[in-house]
Amino acid sequence: MTANHSIANFNLMIRVFQILVLSFMSLLLTGCNAPKKSKPVWEGVKLGDLAPSDSYQLPRPQLLKTINFDVHIFEIPAESISELDNVWNFLYARSFRFNSQYAFNANSFIVRFGQMPMWDKINDLLFSTGGQRVLKISLLLFDNRPNDLTISGLDKQQTVFYVSSDSSREKATIGPGLLVLRIKAVKIPGSRGVSIVAAQPVFTQPIRSSIPALADRARLHEFAFSSAAFGLKMGPGDFLVLGPKEYISDGSTLGGLLFSKPEGSLFFDGVKHKVPERKPAVRVFLLVCTGISD
């Protein structure tokens, strides 16, 4: 073998080695830049996964449900109280619910139901007794939230006798504070334009704080006369008339405190409103439902 032949073989080996190195480097570069194998679409996040499922729906905006009432307060001369029988007999006694109907009557309460076609007749009967309307108040009730119609202000502590729901004669020490008629209306699910309206006398104290804890503490001193509670279904144009069965000259009983004339003045929202001085009188309350938002 000549020297030239040996040199040629050596050069050939170097060339083959260079080709192998270049080929290997090319494979490495190609492998690094090759696209990764994509996953099937069902293994990734789909648009349907981002949308709410059938079992979850965003809350739909709802209108605030309110019930509107007009309250008319009449004063009837005590000597004419027997003439109120014409009012009671003209109205309906049905449809009411009581905690105890016996206790309701024993506390000298009477309530009747009417509808708008009867309104003019009822007003005529009330005025024919020599009575007069001394106050008209508009009440806005939010669904399932009570509102208080202030009847009398008590400037000192006193004892009030009443008949409880178990028909026993009881007494409560209340005052100072307010005697209110607490009214609450609740919409009937699935029924448009109809609410259950309930009312009861409650002794309470003015809540002067907007802090819930302090307001709740003030309510601890309330006394609810639940034996005089009543309720019924009402819609726009319906009204009820609440009054006494008899005249009670003093405020030592619940009926007397609620219905007897308070010495020529009337409390509403803790403010004393002057009314004309008259002879002894009783108060009659007319609550008219004027509208319900569905």
Residue 23 lies in a domain: no
| Residues in a beta bridge with 24 | none
Q: How far apart are CA 263 and CA 249, in angstroms?
A: 11
In tens, the pLDDT along 40-51 reads: 322 333 323 333
Residue 38 lies in a domain: no
> What separation in angstroms does the CA of 61 have from each of 48, 58, 142?
25, 9, 17
Least Cα distance to 278 among 150, 152, 134 occurs for: 134
Q: How far apart are CA 270 and CA 60, in angstroms?
A: 40
Least Cα distance to 142 among 237, 223, 62, 222 occurs for: 62
How many domains are there within the chain?
A: 1
Q: Cα torsion for 145, 151, 152, 157, to the nearest 10°?
A: -50
Owner of token pair 């309250």:
71
pLDDT at 206: 75
Residue 52 lies in a domain: no
pLDDT in tens, the chain (294 residues): 555 555 555 555 556 555 554 555 544 444 444 334 333 322 333 323 333 333 333 334 345 588 999 999 999 999 999 999 999 999 999 889 999 999 999 999 999 999 999 999 999 999 999 999 999 999 999 888 889 999 988 889 999 999 999 999 999 999 899 999 999 998 888 788 889 999 999 999 876 656 666 666 666 779 999 999 999 999 999 999 999 999 988 789 999 999 988 555 444 444 555 555 557 899 999 999 999 887
Q: Which domain holds residue 173?
A: 66-292
Residue 41 lies in a domain: no
Residue 141 lies in a domain: yes
Q: How far apart are CA 4 and CA 10, in angstroms?
A: 10
Q: How far apart are CA 142 and CA 186, in angstroms?
A: 8
Q: Residue 47: what residue type?
A: L
Residue 54 lies in a domain: no
Q: How far apart are CA 261 and CA 279, in angstroms?
A: 9
Alpha helices, H only, 163-233: 212-219
Which two three-digit tokens encode residue 180? 């209110």
| Residues in a beta bridge with 241 | 112, 286
- Note the Cα 6 to chain centre separation in Å: 109
Residue 259 lies in a domain: yes
pLDDT at 58: 34
Residue 231 lies in a domain: yes
In tens, the pLDDT along 184-240 reads: 998 888 788 889 999 999 999 876 656 666 666 666 779 999 999 999 999 999 999
If you write DSSP's letter for every residue of 278-291 in order, what string do you get?
-SSEEEEEEEEEEE
Q: How far apart are CA 244 and CA 81, in angstroms?
A: 9
Owner of token pair 């003439």:
83
